[in-house]
């Protein structure tokens, strides 16, 4: 993708951390590979994935720098994907789905708070507290002992 990448493999290879190994293995299995994939296949795919992601982030950071920013925003990704309409469309679909999910969560939160407020208003209108069901919590009152002590003292 970029000309700054060297095509020749250096004589001494650095061992890279493998972040996506499990994900790539499950993806390969889902696409029809055996339950255990070859390590060379997984490593090759991971190298391609890491290179693609780093190239895309490099292009995105270049765009952010041209806009006068030092940090990448989520809105910079469409610029990096502008030459690939399928990936750009998928990115827009994912953004739209995330917006729908957040709106649904907000509506759920609002309806839950509205329901609680409605129930609180109903309780205030009735003016009476409903008796609690089940065991009462806390210490038992010592009313019987106090009355027994008073009756003994009076005799």
pLDDT single digits (tens) 74-132:
889 999 999 999 999 999 999 999 999 999 999 888 888 878 777 776 666 655 555 55
Reply yes or no on whether the pLDDT at 66 is more than 90.
yes
Give residue 12's pLDDT: 65
Other C-beta atoms within 10 Å of 142: how many? Answer: 10
- In angstroms, the CA 136 to CA 14 distance is 67
User: What is the rounded average pLDDT for all residues in the chain?
Assistant: 81
- In angstroms, the CA 109 to CA 2 distance is 47
Give residue 103's pLDDT: 93
- In angstroms, the CA 132 to CA 139 distance is 16
- In angstroms, the CA 100 to CA 145 distance is 64
Structure tokens at 106: 């907000």
26: nearest Cα among 50, 47, 46: 46
């Amino acid at each position: 993708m970029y000309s700054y990448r060297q095509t020749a493999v250096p004589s001494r290879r650095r061992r890279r951390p493998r972040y996506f190994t499990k994900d790539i293995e499950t993806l390969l299995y889902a696409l029809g590979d055996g339950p255990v994939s070859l390590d060379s296949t997984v490593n090759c795919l991971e190298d391609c994935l890491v290179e693609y992601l780093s190239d895309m982030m490099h292009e995105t950071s270049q765009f952010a720098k041209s806009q006068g920013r030092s940090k990448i925003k989520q809105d910079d990704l469409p610029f990096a994907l502008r030459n690939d309409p399928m990936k750009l469309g998928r990115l827009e679909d994912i953004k739209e789905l995330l917006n729908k999910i957040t709106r649904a969560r907000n509506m759920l939160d609002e309806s839950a708070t509205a329901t609680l407020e409605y129930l609180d208003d109903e309780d205030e209108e009735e003016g009476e507290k409903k008796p609690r069901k089940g065991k009462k919590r806390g210490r038992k009152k010592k009313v019987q002992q106090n009355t027994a002590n008073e009756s003994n003292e009076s005799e």
